[in-house]
Chain A
Amino acid sequence: MRTNEKSRASATLVTPASAPVRRTPAPPAERMIDAPPFPENVKNYINNEQLRANMRHATHTIRAKRSAVAAELPNWEELRTAAEDIKNHTARHLDYYLEQLEANLIKNGAQVHWASDAAEANRIVIALVQAKGVDEVVKIKSMVTQEIELNEALEAAGIAAWETDLAELIVQLGHDRPSNILVPAIHRNRDEVREIFLREMKLYGKAAPEDLDNDPKNLAAAARLHLREKFLRAKVALSGSNFCVADNGTLVIVESEGNGRMCLTLPETLISVTGIEKLVPTIADLEVVLQLLPRSSTGERMNPYTSMWTGVTPGDGPQEVHVVLVDNGRSKVLADTTGREVLRCIRCAACMHACPIYERVGGHPYGSVYPGPIGSALTPQLRGFNSAIDKSLPFACSLCGACAEVCPVKIPLPDILVYLRHRVVEEKKRGHLGLEQTLIGFFGWVMSKGRRFGRFGTMAGLARRVLGKEYLRSLPSLGKRWTASRDLRMPPKSSYRKLWKKRARRKGGA
């Protein structure tokens, strides 16, 4: 059980003598999919006061920024609807648009690769890097490469992948995992970042200045110097994409720091790995999504850097461009007419920033690179419902609806989660009957007849008469989960149904 992020991070520095020498900082050893069920995993994080404070500060700040800039646009709702339509249309005709994208990429000098799963995508990327005869690459922040665990696959092949996004760098040097899809180091504060930089940078390249303080400006400067030598050395860059325009073969990356622009322009070879749901049909569609994404994510009117590239431009930028189109479960999700609405996601993170549950523990307890509401709705569908964590994720939600309210592509997240709960339960029903099913089955029977429910009310009233208390402070079994933190109000002696009957008799007699 993990209780302290910091002690875990430093513990991983002790490398056994027999282990092969790593090129990059090792992430946590446990596989995400082996995480305990969400309610159990929450216990490993929720009492970490530092984490709670960091998360609360970060989510509340970004939440306020988002709602301020969304409110500025009089046509915000129309933009959301337009984006919903664009993404739905693209998904319905994905076969057509994917082939159109491929043809246009090839026409413009890019090479296109298709990967049905993570292993195939990783094999393709490793072979491409090895063909260039290099043993290191620079990387732009990319969720799909986190999803397919590309960095570790590269490491195993003797290739060092250096994260160049500031937050991803903090995560990588911290032997950590991202806890947010937009702000991967959202769970860290500046003091922790300083510690990580001082401890780790010197092991993997240019050391941080010894007198480094916790001023964000100085932390960014240390990162800039550390990364600069990697940018200048790199022959190959890896990226994802925010959008792929099918009818002209243009890929789009939006970012804040300029590290992406460096990766997209300096190295000779660029390999872009992208999920097949990232397509939009035409360049005009960017007008909609590029208004929604920055406002929904960082809460900015426009992101500082928007890079677009179309295959190879002779004499300018990378002269060898590859695009790896990754399925990894997406076509399976697309086949589910209810569940597929999650494929509209443009990875803005507004849902997690709005989520009261995510706010209290961050992304790690979700056991997925996609945490929060979208993670709970997307991850089990992508990975299948086989692991304990994936079966628990659809229930990691109080159905408050704050996420659906802010989603720029109008994914009805609570509805999807309720639907996925049904899928989990249907599967569970094939196994043995547990306490939950017995109770639910009993109440389902009670609630199917007014008279039965009336009798239940009478029994509840009798319980009150016997116990004679207005509140119970402790209950056994499942009830303990309620009374551990709050008292249980007891029913009064008479249900309303009884009172109504008495009243009707009184009236009738009057």
Chain B
Amino acid sequence: MSSTSDNALKTESTRLLKDKVAKYGVTAGGIMVLCALLLIFFYLLYIVKPVFNAAEIESVTNIDELTQIYASVAVEEQNEIAFALTEKGLVDFYALTGNKAGQLILSEKIPAVSEITAFDASAPQKGLYGYINQQSELLIIKPDFRVTFPDDKRQLLPYISYPFGESTISLEADSLFTINKFSFATNEESIGLIHQHSDSKIYFTKLEGEENMFSEEIEWTANSTELTQISGNILHTLVSPDLSRAFIITTNQLYVFNTRDSSDVSLLYNVNLIANLNSNIQVTAANLLAGANSVIVGFSNGVLEQWFETNSDQGRDFVKVRQFELSGDAKGSSVQAIYPEFYRRTFLAATESGHINLFHTTSEAELWQGKLADGKIDSLAFSPRSNAVISIANNTLNISKVENEHPEVTWSGLWQEVWYEGYPEADYVWQSSSASDDFESKFSLVPISFGTLKAAMYAMLFAVPIGLSAAIYTAYFMAPNVRKFVKPTVEIMEALPTVILGFLAGLWLAPVIEDHLPGVVLLLILLPITIILTAFAWHNLPAKIKNTVPQGWDSIILLPVVVIVSYMAFSLSPLVEEWLFDGNTRLYITNELGINFDQRNSLIVGIAMGFAVIPTIFSIAEDAVFSVPKTLSNGSLALGATQWQTLVKVVLLTASPGIFSAVMMGLGRAVGETMIVLMATGNTPIMDWSIFEGMRTLSANIAVEMPESEVGSSHYRILFLAAFVLFIFTFVVNTIAEFVRQRLREKYSSL
């Protein structure tokens, strides 16, 4: 007996337990939906956030008591070995990691034949160093590294390579005066130099090498031009890496020479860097940015200016684009030196007291400011991956870690006009990648957001009138047996994959519309007119015939009318074309009206995406109108209002929140749609409202570029940001729509 009751109790308790478990399980499952949404939100945010992180520079190691005075310092790609060069041709390699950390591992003297009189380093990404001896002979070296695997362990071995040969190259200059200052740049087979002699004359020389057929040695020919136009104290000389421009900066002037043709070196621009000559402001430093399009000039009052050459309809010009100012403790003090990064537009400005400021030109941002050392920095360089800086000050070599992953992105840069290198003015540009390493990425979300709104607008222009009218008629006037057939048909329309709509729009509709453009316009005009004419004709038909068709079948009666009118409009199209547009509308638009015409344009997107949006608008609006209580409309009709008056004054007014939410939902769908815009437009990020041009939308942009973007790069994160923007936009729109709808539902439940 007791055992059965025990069993009963046991089963009772297990049942209750099961009930509890089910309750909590189901609740957890329900909350999970919320979690999924939050997860998407926070994950997108988590990927996007680092883009806006500030830069960070942090000292890692010091190597003290250097025995030499070094003129230049650099570090190899993995930040494992640093090397420093003296002006007299000694190259020292220091290990930074491993068991030899901090030690000198190799010291080599270069074979310069005689006394070295001048030394210079090339642009950082080339990694070349040049020496000139008393005989005006040039030797170019490159400290390099070899990876070996002794005992299966990776080991870096430093050595010095001579990319232009181990023997010196004569500049064929006047040997009476030695060269005491020079700067150089190289490309595959030529070297360009600006050199100053002890008689203070300055020359541009281009060395061109050619292989001797017999001895297989490279023979160099020099082509020199004296640059006579310079006045004032020369502070800095620079040669662009493609050898096409030479820059000479004096304490108040900037000279730009065209050196593309070494036999015809000419002065292109001569700009005054100091507006007010009476002020005692002076130019104190200058350097080329990565990519070598911009010159950064530093002044004694702590101001830095970016200058570059622009190319516009009015011709070429060399202009000041933007300026920066040292901040913090360094505010107002003189800029001592400017150090560019390898590939990006970040540069570092140092003062006499060892303060440094980190800037990025494209984003116009000051990224970091602080101090690496007390006192003047003798030499500094970024590591090739821009994740460290190495500097020498006070006989101490310092390595600092740099965290500066995304300097080119700022919130304002994404949404405001930015003046990019080579552009005649500030503009909104989206151009995320190119083949070259030192490309200035142009991340402006404005053109693609604009494209999104443009596409959505044209789609809504098409979808809202049709969707809403159809919904109103279906819900209010249509006979129930017709409605039973119409609603599922429109629902099927919603289910059609957008890839098919896009494919038809791009490959079928676009050529058809291009060929029948006048037909489309004709259709837009004829269709409403014929509908009204048909209605009038029907109105005047004898009642006998009218009564054969039940009420609410109007749209079925109109079906053949619409088909015939469309057919007519399209077959009349060639005639109209002949008559009004010289037989070719497309040519007429481009030549006579001067409007660009893309085959896949906004009109196509408007129609195709409108088609995708109509069912969304239709079904929500139809629900809203249909659920207006019949008592309201019956009351109105009883008071003598016509059907139409009742609809406009009573039904639509009551259903307006629902209609609003239908339009919002439709907008949300149009904004996020990907495949249709991807296939039915040319995907060019232009900003133009023209109906005959295409666009690139946020969503299509993600679909096109995401598979190719490098994980973790600024580009990748900005694409996530684009997704985040879409997410937030649709979130806001949908939440408002849903709120309005719920309010409406509550209102009806009380009616």
Interaction A to B: no
Q: Which residues of A contact B (CB under 8 A)?
A: none
